[in-house]
Amino acid sequence: MLPNERDLRAYAVGFARRYRDYAAPYAREYAEKLRSCGDHEGCAVWHRVADLIAEDALDTAPADTRIAA
Query: Tens digit of pLDDT for each residue in 21-44?
Result: 999 999 999 999 999 999 999 999
The continuous run of DSSP H or E covering 6 comes out as: helix 5-19
Q: Which long-range contacts (CB under 8 A, 24 or more apart) does 16-25 make?
A: 16/53, 16/58, 16/60, 17/60, 17/62, 23/50, 23/53, 24/50, 24/53, 24/54, 25/50
Residue 30 lies in a domain: yes
Question: Is residue 64 pLDDT above 70, yes or no?
Answer: no
Residue 3 CA to its chain's centroid (Å) = 12
**Range of the structural domain that residue 38 is part of:** 5-58
Residue 29 lies in a domain: yes
Rg for the chain (alpha carbons), in Å? 13
* DSSP assigned state of 59: -
Number of domains in the chain: 1
Residue 67 lies in a domain: no
Please compute the mean of the pLDDT values over residues 44-50 and round it to a whole number: 96
Question: Is residue 46 pLDDT above 60, yes or no?
Answer: yes
